[in-house]
DNA sequence: GTGACCACCTGGCCGC
DNA sequence: TGCGGCCAGGTGGTCA
């Protein structure tokens, strides 16, 4: 599923291929995907708009046009494909953007969880979701104290807290499992028991994991591929996620699977024994 | 303010 | 082979 590295890969790929194109028309085949306005208004506002830039905040993509911005979230299995006008529509393609050069950008989403919403191009950061995002671990400068302040009173498992996008933006199930492995921490450990230096270590390790994943084009677990069908290679680098029953790459102990906060969680019982209190 | 729970949705897998 | 049930999971909403 798309997390920060996958969304960043999509952004870079799309930017290289569709920047400067002008939308001639839009077809929406699943109306619930469009938030904040009705489909008719969504389409009419996008017609004639030229794409100027594509930005990313956490797992959100922001398409910047002449007069409007479109905020898109891929959720579980959303993907963008650039295809020629003549190609037959796949049954899971729910939104098609037709460009004036006869190419099309198609949004495909098997589970229909993804969302798109239009907003003012100068005020998209006030959108619900975007405005509450925490810092990104891959940012050049991190206010570690601010992250610690958000973590220190939380009684939930550290895994649950790391998945909270208002604490750190961009981490999802895969990369939280990998970050916790790298940090030697059990996923179910209470967040409030961590010291400031432990939180700093977690943020730094999440940065290492995310930057490596971006370099390799993200992960291609289950059905996920980036735009234009580009397949990531980070899944070959995973230490614990989806490796239940397989030997740990460090100590050869069998990787275990459990549930934390309702999420499937993988960990090494030998390497992840770091207890602080 | 915090935490738990639920809805959204469909393909894949498993057991019968 | 076909069917039913469960699981996967990011986010927002609701409720306690």
Domain boundary residue among A131, A160, A177?
Answer: A131
Residue A85 has pLDDT above 70, yes or no: yes
**pLDDT score, position A178:** 92
Catalytic (active site) residue A178: no
Question: Which residue, among A123, A241, A117, has the nearest Cα to A176 in the 3D structure?
Answer: A241
pLDDT in tens, A125-168: 888 888 889 999 999 999 999 999 889 888 888 999 999 999 99
Residues 249-268 of chain A sitting with CB below 7 angstroms of strand B: 261
Quick one: which H or E segment has residue A52? strand A51-57
Question: Using the CB atom, is residue A128 less than 7 Å from strand B?
Answer: no
Closest nt by CA–C1' to A59? C10
* CA pair distance A232, A229, nearest whole angstrom: 10
Claim to verify: residue A77 and residue A39 sit in the same structural domain: yes
Over residues A10-27, mean pLDDT: 94
**pLDDT score, position A270:** 93
Select which of A56, A59, A186, A189 is catalytic: A59
Chain C positions with an atom below 7 A of a protein C-beta are 7-13
Q: At what angle do helices A196-215 and A144-151 cross, to 10 degrees?
A: 110
List phi, psi (to 5°) of A83.
-135, 160
Select which of A3, A8, A93, A136 is catalytic: A3
Catalytic (active site) residue A2: yes
Claim to verify: residue A192 and residue A255 sit in the same structural domain: yes
Catalytic (active site) residue A257: no
pLDDT in tens, A194-237: 999 999 999 999 999 999 888 887 665 444 444 555 556 677 78
Closest nt by CA–C1' to A115? C11
Claim to verify: residue A63 and residue A157 sit in the same structural domain: no
- Full-prediction pTM beyond 0.75? yes
Closest nt by CA–C1' to A74? C10
* CA pair distance A203, A223, nearest whole angstrom: 28
List phi, psi (to 5°) of A120.
-65, 135
Mean pLDDT, rounded, of chain A: 87
Answer whether residue A275 is part of any domain. Answer: no
pLDDT in tens, A163-206: 999 999 989 888 899 999 999 999 988 898 999 999 999 999 99
Strand C: residues with CB below 7 A: A 1, 3, 58-59, 73, 75-76, 111, 113, 128-129, 132, 163, 165, 172-174, 259, 263-264
Quick one: which H or E segment has residue A6? helix A4-18
**CATH number reported for the structural domain that contains residue A37 in this entry:** 3.20.190.10
Reduce the DSSP state of residue A109 to 3 states and report it: coil
**CATH number reported for the structural domain that contains residue A242 in this entry:** 1.10.8.50
Closest nt by CA–C1' to A263? C9
Catalytic (active site) residue A59: yes
Quick one: which H or E segment has residue A159? helix A158-163
Domain boundary residue among A131, A165, A185?
Answer: A131
Residues A268/A181, Cβ–Cβ less than 8 Å: yes
pLDDT in tens, A33-49: 898 888 999 999 999 99
Counting residues of chain A whose pLDDT is more than 90, the rounded percentage is 49
A261: containing domain: 144-267
> Could you give the C-alpha distances from A261 to A155, A186, A202, A208, A274, in angstroms and in order?
12, 13, 19, 24, 20
Domain boundary residue among A131, A163, A181?
Answer: A131
Reduce the DSSP state of residue A125 to 3 states and report it: helix
| Number of structural domains found in chain A | 2
Question: Using the CB atom, is residue A154 less than 7 Å from strand B?
Answer: yes
How sure is the predictor about A28, in pLDDT bands with cuts at 50, 70 and 90?
very high
């Amino acid at each position: 599923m798309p997390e920060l590295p996958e969304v960043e890969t999509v952004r870079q790929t799309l930017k290289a291929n569709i920047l400067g194109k002008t939308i001639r028309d839009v077809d929406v085949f699943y109306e619930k995907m469009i938030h904040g306005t009705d489909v008719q208004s969504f389409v009419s506002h996008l017609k004639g708009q030229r794409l100027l830039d594509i930005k990313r905040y956490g797992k959100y993509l922001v398409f910047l046009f002449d007069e409007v911005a479109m905020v898109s979230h891929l959720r579980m299995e959303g993907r963008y494909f650039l295809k020629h006008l003549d190609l037959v529509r796949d049954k899971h393609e729910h939104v098609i953007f037709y460009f004036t050069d006869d190419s099309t950008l198609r949004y495909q989403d098997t589970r229909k969880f993804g969302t798109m919403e239009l907003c003012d191009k100068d005020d998209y950061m006030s959108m619900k979701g975007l405005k509450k995002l925490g810092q990104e671990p891959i940012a050049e400068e991190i206010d570690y104290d601010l992250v610690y302040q958000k973590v220190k009173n939380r009684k939930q498992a550290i895994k649950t807290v790391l998945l909270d996008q208002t604490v750190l933006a961009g981490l999802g199930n895969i990369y939280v499992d990998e970050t916790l492995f790298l940090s030697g921490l059990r996923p179910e450990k209470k967040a409030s028991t961590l010291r400031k230096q432990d939180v700093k270590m977690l943020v730094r390790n999440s940065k290492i994991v995310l930057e490596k994943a971006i370099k390799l084009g993200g992960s291609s677990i289950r059905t996920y591929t980036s735009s234009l069908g580009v397949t990531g290679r980070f899944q070959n680098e995973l230490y614990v996620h989806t490796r239940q029953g397989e030997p740990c790459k460090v100590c050869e102990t069998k990787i275990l699977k459990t549930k934390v906060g309702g999420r499937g969680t993988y960990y090494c019982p030998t390497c992840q024994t770091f207890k602080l209190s």
